[in-house]
Amino acid sequence: MLENLDQKADRLEALALPLRTLALRAAGQLRTLALKTAGRLRTLSLKTLSRLRTLAPKTAGELRTLALKAAGQLRTLALKAAGRLRTLALKAEGQLRTLALKAEGQLRTLTLKTAGWLRTLALKVAGQLRTLVTLQIVGWLMTLETLQHDKLKAKKHMVNRL
């Protein structure tokens, strides 16, 4: 019976040895797998951290560049708008000056025409046609001279204003 038990023990030992080896192998593989996984996670964590460190300055630089570009574009836009407003103001001032000069000229012409008509009417009533012709010629010459004088005056005035 002892022999029988010895044989059974030997057989169990023989069976236990591969099982023990298998268990040790499995435990080793699990440990190796755990270490590999931990290593991969650590590597992945370090890579991610490294990428974030690399990405952060790039992102900050890109944001800074974007902000500088936007500021430059706003400055350019403001300068363009100021230039356009200045141009518009100068155009309006020039148009007002032209309009004032035209109105002044038209009033002077109207006054001279009215005076001429009244003079013609008075001379016709008096029957002095010859005097009329003479006065008209003299009047035209005086009007021409006055207009030339007024033009020079207007030019001087405009030059002084500019």
Residue 88 domain boundaries = 22-161
The verdict on residue 9 lying in a domain is: no
107-116: average pLDDT? 80
Q: Which residue has the tokens 């370090």?
A: 46
First to last CA, the chain: 136
If one counts the domains in the chain, the total is: 1
| CA–CA distance, 117 with 139 (Å, rounded to integer) | 12
How far from the centroid of its chain's Cα atoms is residue 49's Cα? 38
The verdict on residue 82 lying in a domain is: yes
The verdict on residue 50 lying in a domain is: yes
| CA–CA distance, 70 with 64 (Å, rounded to integer) | 10
86-115: average pLDDT? 81
The verdict on residue 120 lying in a domain is: yes
User: Which pLDDT belongs to residue 123?
Assistant: 64
SS (H, E, C) 23-37: HHHHHHHHHHHHHHH
- Cβ(135)–Cβ(123) under 8 Å? yes
The verdict on residue 5 lying in a domain is: no
The verdict on residue 14 lying in a domain is: no
Other beta carbons less than 10 A from residue 157's beta carbon: 12
The verdict on residue 10 lying in a domain is: no
- Provide the angle, in degrees to the nearest 10, between the axes of the packed helices 2-126 and 129-161: 150
The verdict on residue 27 lying in a domain is: yes
Do you know the residue count of the chain? 162
pTM tops 0.95, yes or no: no
Indicate the burial class of 154 (C-beta count within 10 angstroms; 0-12, 13-18, 19 or more). middle
What pLDDT digit, counting tens, does each position of 41-97 carry?
A: 888 777 777 777 777 777 777 877 888 888 888 888 888 888 888 888 888 888 888
Average pLDDT score, the chain: 77
Q: Six-digit token pair at 75?
A: 């400055």
| CA–CA distance, 117 with 120 (Å, rounded to integer) | 5
